[in-house]
Amino acid sequence: MIKPHGSDQLNPLFVYDSAKRHTLLEEAETLPSLLLNSAAAANAVMLGGGYFNPLTGYMDLADSLSVAEKMHTQSGLFFPVPIVNMTSDPSVQAGDRIALRDPNVEGQPVLAVMDVEAVEPVSEEQIDFMAEKVFRTLDPKHPGVATFRGLGNTLLSGPIEVLNFSYFQTDFPDTFRTAVEIRNEIAEHGWQKVVAFQTRNPMHRAHEELCRMAMEQLGADGILIHMLLGKLKPGDIPAEVRDAAIRKMVEVYFPPNTVMVTGYGFDMLYAGPREAVLHAVFRQNSGCTHLIVGRDHAGVGDYYGGFDAQAIFDEEVPAGALELEIFKADHTAYSKKLNKVVMMRDVPDHTKEDFVLLSGTAVREMLGKGIAPPPEFSRPEVAKILSDYYQALDQ
């Protein structure tokens, strides 16, 4: 199986030894507490699951600035975005051992224990420098920029020991998986070549066929459909609705034992190209050999060019930085001429009128009125789940 990023073995930061975990939970109740923001909590969950291997905790300021600027830490480890714990709490001191508390679960339980190696002030200029490098904009309307600039101006760095997976394990028991668990399941299947498909949305016909095309062209053994389960911007479809729609599509339209439907506990960054590279890092850590990167991957609005998320792998990711390979996908649509979903670049003889093209807004309006999108665009079983959701919103 493909090696994890940056090490020979995956090193998740979750404490799997139950006796040790119980002891740490008891100790945590005696420690000073820090209530995390949602971004830092999501980073802890990803560190716990092995997704951010080989990191041992939150980055310090020098590494955060270096990663933002050059996509590598000061020691030379390739990493595409800073993994930080930023706060406005002035009480934490370097050398403290603290309990990190979960902002997203009632009662704010302990999520992790942290040994604070450094407490560093971060200037507005440094925050903007990192935001501009990662998001390619400082527009406050960009949801990722707005979140990042509001995290706080004190950066806490040091190793952590993760004690639970926040709400993801309880709210999505059939879907949430760690990188450890995905690797184990890939091994159980005996798969060697595995293609990952990233999504924060339900999957329509074009997405379904894109997975099928990648699997066939690469000769892959299986597909990992890996959905984001964390915080999204207003208007995005909730994880539980997306989960139900994707599972129904796989159940009806894919052969048995060719697809794993899973999810990960992270808040969406909307960082376009940089987030695409982060997706590649943690898919390699999950045991995948390939990642599908399509049009406007991880983007939002008009902040990124349609294929910037593909170009970054050719132009900015150093050769050999990742073992995982990218499957570059063009815009996909249903061809009326060929009666199937195609990549547009593969049919140069087509005109716009030869495709079934629907905007997301048009589809949402149709679903909200109880009108099923054409079967060329969305499977009827999927459209029914989404239509029920949108109609319930209007009641």
Q: What is the pLDDT of residue 395?
A: 64
Which range (157-166, 212-221, 231-240) has the least confidence? 231-240
Whole-number Å distance between alpha carbons of 311 and 243 = 30
> Which entry of 21, 201, 247, 364 is annotated as an active-site residue?
201
Classify residue 389 as left (phi > 0), alpha (psi -120 to 50) or beta: alpha
Q: What percent of the chain has pLDDT over 90?
A: 78
Residues in the chain: 395
DSSP output for 107-130: T--EEEEEE--EEEE--HHHHHHH
Q: Is the peptide bond before 54 cis (omega within 30 degrees of 0)?
A: yes
Asked whether the beta carbons of 212 and 249 are under 8 A apart, the reply is no
Active-site residue flag, 201: yes
Class of domain 175-393: alpha beta
Tell which CATH classification among 3.10.180.10, 3.40.50.720, 3.30.70.120, 3.10.400.10 matches the domain 18-169. 3.10.400.10
Whether pLDDT at 295 is above 90: no
Whole-number Å distance between alpha carbons of 127 and 124 = 5
pLDDT tens digits, one per residue of 74-100: 999 999 999 999 999 889 999 999 999
Query: Using 50, 70 and 90 to split pLDDT, how confident is the model at 359?
Result: low
Enter the tokens of residue 221. 């053994």
Segment 22-50 shows an average pLDDT of 98
Enter the tokens of residue 273. 């190209």
Whether pLDDT at 379 is above 80: yes
Cα–chain center distance at 390: 24
Asked whether the beta carbons of 162 and 48 are under 8 A apart, the reply is yes
> Which entry of 11, 21, 97, 200 is annotated as an active-site residue?
200
pLDDT tens digits, one per residue of 265-289: 999 999 999 999 999 999 999 999 9
Cα–chain center distance at 272: 11
Active-site residue flag, 212: no
Q: What is the pLDDT of residue 336?
A: 87
Q: What is the pLDDT of residue 358?
A: 64
The residue ranges of every structural domain in the chain are 18-169, 175-393
Whole-number Å distance between alpha carbons of 3 and 331 = 31
Q: What is the pLDDT of residue 332?
A: 82
Segment 331-341 shows an average pLDDT of 86
Angle at 168 between CA 39 and CA 304, to 5 degrees: 45
Of 271, 341, 336, 328, residue with least CA distance to 301: 271
